[in-house]
Copies of this chain bind each other. A is one copy, B any other.
């Protein structure tokens, strides 16, 4: 799978496995803690895997960057600034949005680096404004 120049070190495998098993995006710190691998190594591996296109990272609200496998179906995220809930959405669900931005501004938007921040259905119902 990834025998193109990359060694299969223990830390590397662990990081990959953890990302594979994860339900959502995880921080480098979390990975380091859970895997008992030094934070530095986690960062170095994530960076390397990111260069190889295997991993990518997102920013939800404030706070640390979060890492995910690049191959996931749900590629983009709606982040509720009230309850901090994260709703992953499939790329094609945002295609209409992308088309609109392309038509209107000639801009090819990706929503993979930053989440779309706002207020989720439940929180909108709950409180006014």
Contact = CB atoms under 8 A, between A and B. Distances in A.
Interface residues of A, number: 31
Interface string A19-45: 000000000000000000000000000
B78 A109 contact: yes
Interface in A104-122: 104-121
A101 interface: yes
> Chain A interface secondary structure, helix, strand, loop or mixed?
mixed
Contacts of A64: none
B117 A113 contact: yes
Interface of A: 59, 61, 78, 80-81, 87, 89, 93, 96-97, 100-101, 104-121, 124
Given A59-B59, A109-B116, 10 more contacts: A80-B107, A87-B107, A89-B105, A93-B104, A105-B121, A107-B118, A109-B118, A110-B119, A114-B115, A114-B117
